Every structure is written in C-alpha cells, then in structure tokens.
C-alpha cells in the first residue's frame, strides 16, 4: 500500500510538472551603483526583435520582445563596484563585451547602456554612470541607469 501511494505521488508530481506552465525565475537585482571609468571599447547594438526561446513559457523566455538600442562597452581604470558586485555582474550577462580580454592583465568591466544615440560614446571617453542596475530572468537581462555623464572626451580626428 505504501509503495502504491509513493508511486501515485511521484506520478502526480511528474504529471503536474509536465502540464503546468514553466515559471519564470527572476534573478536577484544587482545595484544600483555608481561607476566611473574610461571607455576602452564600444559596440553599438540597434533596436531589434528577439523571438521567444520557449513559446508559451512565462517570463521573457516565452514571449517575443523588442530589445531597445544600446551600447555594450568595456571600461578600464574603473571605480565603483566592489569585488562581490563585480562577480555578480559577470554572471548576469551572456554577451561578450568588446575588449573584455585586454592585454597585460588590465582589469575591465562590461556595461550595457541603453540609448538611442549611436554617436554618444566612443573609446577614450571618461564617463560616470549613476544608479546603474541589472535585473532579469531566465530569458533576458536588462539594465537601467539614472544618469550618464561624459567627464572628458578625446578630440575627434577628421
């Protein structure tokens, strides 16, 4: 009798998992934090659509969505996040940031900065990002910030 009850319980658990919708699992928010550094590398990503990875699943994994225009940048000579925050940030993204493996052991940090202006940032600029935060779930990672300041910029050579 106990064996039959255990088998029935196992069957019900398996059946429930199979027919119930997949649940989204939000990641623990990272930040907000203030980060200052020099832009080492820049990659512009235009607004684009991303199809659902698992149609019908809950969260961003199961829906078609628009990803807003943004920069993927790498900062060197940065200040702001501590080691714990840096470790959390490195786990949050599945993208490869430009210049993320610099020579000579120079430490860098990757940021995703949302903006519609593809000419806003370029290598060599010193910037400060105030209120930078990362959130997401199993389908996507998103970022936000309160303010982006350009502290200094190299001269343009035409």
Q: What is the pTM of this model?
A: 0.72
Sign of CA dihedral 98, 43, 29, 78: positive
Is residue 157 included in any domain, yes or no? no
Structural domain count of the chain: 1
Write out the residue range of the structural domain in which residue 26 sits: 2-152
Q: Is 85 exposed, middle or buried (0-12, 13-18, 19+ CB in 10 A)?
A: middle
Is residue 124 included in any domain, yes or no? yes
Is residue 93 included in any domain, yes or no? yes
Is residue 116 included in any domain, yes or no? yes
Q: What is the pLDDT of residue 135?
A: 87
Per-residue pLDDT reduced to its tens digit, 133-143: 998 877 678 89
Is residue 29 included in any domain, yes or no? yes
* Mean pLDDT taken over the chain: 79
Per-residue pLDDT reduced to its tens digit, 94-118: 555 665 555 566 678 889 999 999 9
DSSP string spanning 67-116?
EPPEEEEEEEEEES--HHHHHHHHHH--SPPTT-S-GGG--EEEEEEE-S
Interval 138-157 mean pLDDT: 85
Is residue 111 included in any domain, yes or no? yes
Is residue 6 included in any domain, yes or no? yes
Q: Are 62 and 29 a contacting pair, CB within 8 Å?
A: no
Is residue 158 included in any domain, yes or no? no
Quickly count: other Cβ atoms within 10 Å of residue 77's Cβ.
12
């Amino acid at each position: 009798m106990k064996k039959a009850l255990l088998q029935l319980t196992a069957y019900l658990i398996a059946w429930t998992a199979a027919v119930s919708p997949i649940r989204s699992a939000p990641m623990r928010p990272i930040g907000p934090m203030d980060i200052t550094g020099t832009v080492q590398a820049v990659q512009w990503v235009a607004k684009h659509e991303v199809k659902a990875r698992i149609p019908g699943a809950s969260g961003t994994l199961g829906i078609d969505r628009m990803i807003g225009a943004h920069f993927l940048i790498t900062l060197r000579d940065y200040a702001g996040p501590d080691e714990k925050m840096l470790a959390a940030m490195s786990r949050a993204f599945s993208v490869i940031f430009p210049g993320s493996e610099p020579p000579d052991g120079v430490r860098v940090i990757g940021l995703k900065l949302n903006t519609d202006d593809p000419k806003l940032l370029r290598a060599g600029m010193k910037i400060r990002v105030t209120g930078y935060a990362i959130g997401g779930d199993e389908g996507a990672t998103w970022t936000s910030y309160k303010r982006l300041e350009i502290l200094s910029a190299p001269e343009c050579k035409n």
